[in-house]
Structures are given as structure tokens and as C-alpha cells.
């Protein structure tokens, strides 16, 4: 249904999109098929499944800080898939450690960012329902959803090249930070 998300996916976005070229996988996310929900600690963190090394970002100074802040705050995504598996709402969760002084970094992600503040979704492209090509949309401060980037499978879950493998060399930066 969405096996492409268990391989390595590439954020293929406009050159000015701040995370274009990032590579990630949901292979080791916590997945509840009955509820159609996958939860992923983006940069690792306290509790949950081991999840470091599942996300990359550009090798720039800001990401050195943001990856560690994300780990401290248990920055997580909760993917809530629709019945047909063709789309998902993506909820942002954290423990608020970065903005609430009394919160301890060892707390799990307990706070969900409200949709009116920030809302993401992903919609599969075309007739296939294999998870190999998604369009990711974003909304900030209640504005209408707008295109952000394409999320494409570059490596299949078994390690073989995915349908968009050639895009990896074209879009991904030469050097990437891997959360670990």
C-alpha cells in the first residue's frame, strides 16, 4: 500500500525549499496498520523506537543546531493515513522542551502543533498506491495548503534502486548531516 515510504525517500523540491534534497525513511517508524498511523522521531530522542539515522539534512551550520534541538524536543511526525492509503495528514509533535523551561528532555513527544498554526499533508501521485511518489503540501497560520515538494522513492525497502534513484545524484547535496 505505501511500501515506498519504507525505502529511502528524497525531498525533490524547488531549489529554494529549505529541506530540498533531504533523504529519509519510515522503515523503522512505529506503525499501527489497524489505525493507519505511523509515528517517527525525526532526529531521534528519548523513548520510542531507535530512530537516529533515519533523516538527513544539508550540511550547514543551522542544521547542526536544529538537529540537536529536534532530538532534545523529541520532534516527531505522526502520519495519519486515510482509508484508501492515497493521502495522509502529517501532525508535528514534540515535548516542548525548546520553548517551555520546566519541560525535561527525557519526556516523550506529548504536544501536537495545532493545525491552524502549521499543517502538512501528503498525497500519492498517479494511479499507483505503492508509496513511491507523494506530493507534500504545507499550510502556516491557517493559510490554504500550498505545494512544498515531491517526496519520491530513491531506494526500495530491500536496498535496490527505486523508481527515482537517478534523482538522488541530481537533487541531494554532496554532503548531508545524518542524525545519530
pLDDT the model gives residue 52: 59
Kindly report, residue by residue over 45-82, the tens digit of the pLDDT. Answer: 777 666 656 788 888 888 888 888 888 888 889 999 99
pLDDT the model gives residue 126: 87
- What average pLDDT score do residues 118-131 get? 91
- pLDDT surpassing 80 at residue 101: no
- pLDDT surpassing 90 at residue 132: yes
How many other CB atoms sit within 10 Å of the CB of residue 50?
9
pLDDT the model gives residue 58: 84
- What average pLDDT score do residues 6-13 get? 91
DSSP percent split of the chain into helix, strand, coil, nearest 5: 15, 35, 50
What predicted TM-score, i.e. pTM, was given to this entire model? 0.89
What would the grid cell of residue 121 be?
499533508
- What average pLDDT score do residues 114-143 get? 94
pLDDT the model gives residue 50: 61
pLDDT the model gives residue 48: 66
Average pLDDT, the chain: 87
pLDDT the model gives residue 151: 95
Kindly report, residue by residue over 36-48, the tens digit of the pLDDT. Answer: 999 988 877 777 6
pLDDT the model gives residue 178: 80
pLDDT the model gives residue 51: 60
Are 140 and 129 spatial neighbours (Cβ–Cβ below 8 Å)? no
Name the phi and psi angles at 168, rounded to 5.
Answer: -60, -50
Length of the chain, please?
180
- What average pLDDT score do residues 155-166 get? 95
How many other CB atoms sit within 10 Å of the CB of residue 125?
13
Amino acid at each position: 500500500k505505501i511500501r515506498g515510504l519504507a525505502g529511502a525517500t528524497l525531498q525533490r523540491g524547488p531549489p529554494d525549499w529549505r529541506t530540498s534534497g533531504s533523504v529519509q525513511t519510515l522503515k523503522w517508524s512505529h506503525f499501527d496498520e489497524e489505525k493507519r498511523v505511523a509515528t517517527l522521531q525525526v532526529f531521534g530522542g528519548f523513548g520510542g523506537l531507535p530512530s537516529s539515522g533515519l533523516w538527513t539534512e544539508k550540511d550547514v551550520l543551522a542544521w547542526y543546531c536544529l538537529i540537536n534541538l529536534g532530538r532534545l524536543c523529541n520532534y516527531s511526525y505522526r502520519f495519519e493515513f486515510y482509508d484508501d492509503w492515497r493521502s495522509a495528514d502529517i501532525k508535528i509533535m514534540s515535548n516542548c522542551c525548546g520553548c517551555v523551561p520546566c519541560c525535561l528532555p527525557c519526556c516523550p513527544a506529548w504536544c501536537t502543533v495545532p493545525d491552524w498554526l502549521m499543517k502538512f499533508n501528503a498525497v500519492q501521485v498517479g494511479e499507483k498506491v505503492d508509496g513511491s511518489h507523494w506530493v507534500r503540501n504545507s499550510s502556516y497560520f491557517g493559510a490554504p495548503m500550498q505545494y512544498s515538494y515531491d517526496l519520491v522513492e530513491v531506494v526500495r525497502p530491500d536496498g535496490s534502486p527505486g523508481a527515482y534513484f537517478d534523482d538522488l545524484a541530481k537533487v541531494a547535496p554532496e554532503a548531508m548531516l545524518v542524525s545519530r
